[in-house]
Structure 1
């Protein structure tokens, strides 16, 4: 964890990683999927921008919706969406889940619905080690993803049948 609040995924130059997130629980050694009705993860610090080449790429395969910062280039295909930054300049790493304007510009959020697992690929195409920071489950920086597409809680008290 990065400063206790963020997950940091560091990749050596030219390396990639496929991250499959599974939602569920173990009971007596048996895995049981527990699909979340709604989940948002924020990926931050895609700031190795270059106007001549791609240095960092995040590819999502299973999201329902996404929102990206102003410096992120989005390329959609039938099976995935790629997120890259082509704006030169380093942005100060966030120390909390609340992003300032510059940090939000090099971040993106992925929203997942009814998924028991989902896949995200991170490619470091830079010539040096790079890290991407992850936080969730929050829409704190992405108000356009509110409200969660789940039913409202049952009013209390619940009437007897």
Structure 2
């Protein structure tokens, strides 16, 4: 299995160019998010996981996406403000990306290759699809949007 390319360029919500290299060696929970989705309250659960397990080596990485029902229409400043004021999000958030199609972000191309969805399809079906990546990126598990953050505790603990 190909290791996650930690040199993939990503841009934070504040516009800083960076890579995933600073998260190498951590368990990563990568989620495509949206501010106006029925699953948006999962931000609270994601933040709870980050606060509880972050000191043990978990990092939650949020990637806003507007490809599903145009449920993330805001710009980076609006997304950051929403996440901070409504859910006190402190985990790393990145600029809005595409997760499917011709302009899919390279990180999501890799994630979908490592862990296919229902019936073996690679496409992301909706907001708040979750990928749990082991510390050495040797395993990637994919979870449906309906999977609550709290229900991931045992899988996270097994990787920590």
TM-score, reference length from structure 2 = 0.28
TM-score, reference length from structure 1 = 0.28
Larger radius of gyration: 1
Higher relative contact order at CA 8 Å, sep ≥6: structure 1 or structure 2?
1
**Which structure carries more strand by proportion?**
1
